[in-house]
Amino acid sequence: MKELFTIGEVSKLFGVKVPTLRYYDEIGLLKPEYVEEATKYRYYSTQQFERLNLIKYLRALNMPLERISDFFELREIGAMTELLRMQQEESAAQRERLERIERKIARRLQGIEDALSVPLDTIEEVRLGRRQAVYMRKDYETGDDIEHLVTELRVRYGLEENIFLGKIGISLSAGDIRAGRYDRYAGIFMLLETEDPPFTASMSFAAGPWLRIRFRGTHREAAAYYAQLNIHMQTHGYELIGSSVETTLIDYGLTNDPDKFVTEILLPVTPPPSR
């Protein structure tokens, strides 16, 4: 039986890359049996195969190298049991995180499909449930850099910068909408979802009837649609009872084609008395 194996042979036998084996040597996790002084070639014995197999097993469990090194320092059943228990807890936490992400992705897909299926330029009454949000009062005029506002919101509430956060939107006050002033927004918000970290909501949008219109474009084109909503409310006897909820459903985050952007305006209302 062959007594020593080159690093290349060990790499092929165990499916571990040569640079990885060299790194294991450098950190003292798996040192070769013999290093030729003249060439610095590394040679491994069969006695080290069991250790390498165990390292591979623990790495497959996503166990950090430092923790594996700690086990080999102690080398006893209790240490291994504790390591595996810790890794089990971390794996469960990671699985829960991935499941939250999966639910968020499903919600995003559903939102995109909904944005593509609902008729545009049509005012309709919809009934929505109560929705929680974090809100920052901040004047914003059409044409200003909204990304600066988004950054301020993130900083104020400690929001992570990733695509899995809830919808970002802006809001017109009821007073400005009634007065026909559609170019000065009162604040910016982020709708909270059940999968979001445990932020404390600073406001909520009430459950009940809302008037909704969706249109092709962004916040820059919203003024004309607020005017349409105002006329609709006056014509049909609706009473506006709160600030608007304006969000872009499809924007540059999904497509580079501005002709495909879709924005939604929601107004909380009291239906006509006759109903």
* Domain harbouring 54, CATH code: 1.10.1660.10
Residue 154 within any structural domain of the chain? yes
Q: Do 30 and 130 fall into the same domain? A: no
Rounded to an integer, what distance in angstroms lies between the CA atom of residue 263 and that of residue 99?
29
How many angstroms separate the CA atoms of 210 and 267, rounded?
Answer: 5
Tokens of 76: 């006893």
Tell me, yes or no, whether 9 lies in a domain: yes
pLDDT at 199: 59
Q: Which of 16, 51, 75 is the endpoint of a domain?
A: 75
Is residue 105 a part of any domain in this protein?
no
Bridge partners, residue 204, by sequence: 132
User: CA-CA distance, 53 to 33, in Å (whole number)?
Assistant: 16
Q: How many domains does the chain have?
A: 2
233 assigned to some structural domain: yes
Query: Which residues of the chain fall below pLDDT 50?
Result: 1, 162-164
150 and 244 co-located in one domain? yes
CATH code of the domain covering residue 189: 3.20.80.10
Same domain, yes or no: 150 and 71? no
pLDDT the model gives residue 140? 80
Q: Is 113 inside any structural domain? A: no
Pair (61, 178) in one structural domain: no
CA distance 44 to 94: 36
Q: Quick check: is 42 in a domain?
A: yes
The residue from 75, 104, 128 where one domain ends is: 75
What is the span of the domain harbouring residue 45? 4-75
Residues 153 and 231 in one domain: yes
Per-residue pLDDT at 161: 53
Q: Note the pLDDT of residue 1.
A: 47
Q: Among 75, 102, 135, where does a domain finish?
A: 75
Residues 123 and 227 in one domain: yes
pLDDT the model gives residue 95: 83
Q: Are 37 and 127 in a shared domain?
A: no
Do 64 and 155 fall into the same domain? no
Fill in the amino acid letter for 263: T
Residue 185 belongs to a domain: yes
Summarize pLDDT for 120-129 with one digit per residue, the tens.
999 999 999 9
CB neighbours (10 Å) of residue 202?
A: 16
Crossing angle of helices 18-26 and 7-14, rounded to 10°? 110
Are 39 and 134 members of one domain? Answer: no
With b for 16 or more beta-carbon neighbours within 10 A and e for fewer, the 243-262 pattern comes to bbbbbbbbbeeeeeeeeebb
pLDDT at res. 163? 43
245 and 140 in one domain? Answer: yes
Question: Mean pLDDT for the chain?
Answer: 85
- Entry pTM: 0.64
Identify whether 100 is part of a domain. no
Question: Which pLDDT score is estimated for 178?
Answer: 94
In this predicted model, what pLDDT tens digit does every residue of 40-74 receive, in sequence order?
A: 899 999 888 988 998 998 888 888 898 888 888 87
- Give yes or no: residues 142 and 259 share one domain: yes
The 10s digit of each residue's pLDDT in 66-111 is: 888 888 887 677 777 887 788 788 888 888 878 877 887 787 788 7
Domain shared by 50 and 142, yes or no? no
The DSSP-derived string for the chain is: ---EEEHHHHHHHHT--HHHHHHHHHTTSS--SEE-TTT--EEEEGGGHHHHHHHHHHHHTT--HHHHHHHHHH-SHHHHHHHHHHHHHHHHHHHHHHHHHHHHHHHHHHHHHHHHHSPSS--EEEEE--EEEEEEEEEEETTS-HHHHHHHHHHHHT---STTS--EEEE--HHHHHTT--SEEEEEEEE--TTS--PPPSEEEPSEEEEEEEEES-GGG-HHHHHHHHHHHHHHT-EE-S--EEEEEESTTT-S-GGG-EEEEEEEEEPPTT-
